[in-house]
C-alpha cells in the first residue's frame, strides 16, 4: 500500500510540474496547484502508513508476552521438580 501511494504521489507531482510548465505563459496555475497538493497529501499519507507499520512490527502483541511468561514459569517449575527427584 505504501509503495502504491508513493508511486501515485510521484505521478501527481510529475503532472503538477507539467501543468506548471504549460501554464507558465497564461498564468493559470490552478491545475498545477491541485496536482501539487494531491501529490503532497499522498506523500504524507504514505510516510504515515510506513511509520505506523514499523511501530506495529517492533511491538510484540500482549498475548504473546503472557504466553511466554507462562511457558517460562512452567519450564522453571519442571526443572525444579526434576532436580528434587534426582536428589
Closest CA to 1 of 37, 38, 48: 48
Closest CA to 5 of 41, 33, 55: 41
pLDDT in tens, the chain (87 residues): 888 888 999 999 999 999 988 888 887 888 889 989 999 999 999 888 877 766 677 766 565 555 555 666 655 555 565 566 665
Task: Break the chain into its structural domains and give their ranges.
Answer: 2-86
Report pTM.
0.56
Return the pLDDT at 73. 61
Return the pLDDT at 1. 80
d(CA 2, CA 42): 10
Q: Which tens digit of pLDDT belongs to each residue from 48-69?
A: 887 776 667 776 656 555 555 5
For residue 59, the 8-state DSSP code is S
Amino acid at each position: 500500500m505504501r509503495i502504491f501511494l508513493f508511486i501515485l504521489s510521484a505521478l501527481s507531482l510529475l503532472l503538477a510540474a507539467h501543468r506548471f510548465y504549460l501554464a507558465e505563459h497564461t498564468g493559470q496555475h490552478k491545475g498545477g496547484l491541485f496536482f501539487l497538493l494531491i501529490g503532497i497529501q499522498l506523500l504524507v499519507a504514505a510516510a504515515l502508513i510506513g511509520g505506523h507499520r514499523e511501530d506495529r512490527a517492533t511491538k510484540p502483541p500482549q498475548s504473546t508476552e503472557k504466553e511466554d511468561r507462562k511457558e517460562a514459569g512452567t519450564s522453571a517449575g519442571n526443572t525444579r521438580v526434576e532436580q528434587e527427584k534426582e536428589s
